[in-house]
Structure 1
Amino acid sequence: MFRRTFWFGTGVAAGVWATTKVNRKLKQLTPDSLAATAANKALDAGTRLKDRAVGFALDVRDNMAQREAELDDALGLNAPVDRELPAPRRFDAIENRNNPKSVVNGRTTDPYNRNEDH
């Protein structure tokens, strides 16, 4: 009698376990569940891809700054700059605004003549 009860209980437990497993699998295979799973996987993949792209961009930026510093050193752009101003320019002639024809850089100019060749 005890044997029959044991095997009956074991059968009931196995049936409940199998039914639960089948019901879970059926719920996972519904269209809504499949769509949600696909969306979650796509979001995870997008997040991983974004993290890798950001890491790559930061690496490129660091290496670019390092190479730029190397080129600046090689070209002497990091050398101290001489802060003296250049000597002031001296003009050959100063334009006389009262005279309609004035002399600029040794040439007579007419303010009313718009031809660039004269």
Structure 2
Amino acid sequence: MKKLTFLSLIYFCASIAAFAGSQSGQVKNVIIRASDGLVYVEVTGTAENKPGCATHSYWMIKDEKSLTGRQQLASLLLAQANGQTVSIIGNGSCTRWSDGEDIDYIIINSK
């Protein structure tokens, strides 16, 4: 039974990853709204495999008040200031804003 549960978990995680978007490029814009704290980013290049809810090309920081959200924002601003390329991987959902995919992780690529 444990083996079946473990395999089910692996298939579930793989299916989520299959519907998560990704994009690589330079940080074009970081937008921070005062009205609700929403933080989102636009990156050069073309996004791939975004979920159906992500009808716009921007990426959302899911929880800008969390440690992870603050780390993501700092990383994006640093990459933008240094002209570095980033790779963004989404988490396959649009929970922070209904038409932009939430960021799962960010890779800052070396120059």
TM class, shorter-chain normalised?
Answer: under 0.3
Q: Judging by fraction of residues, say which structure has more strand.
A: 2
TM superposition score normalised by structure 1: 0.22
Q: Which has the higher helix share?
A: 1
**Greater length-normalized contact order (CA 8 Å, ≥ 6 residues apart):** 2
* TM-score, normalised with respect to structure 2: 0.23
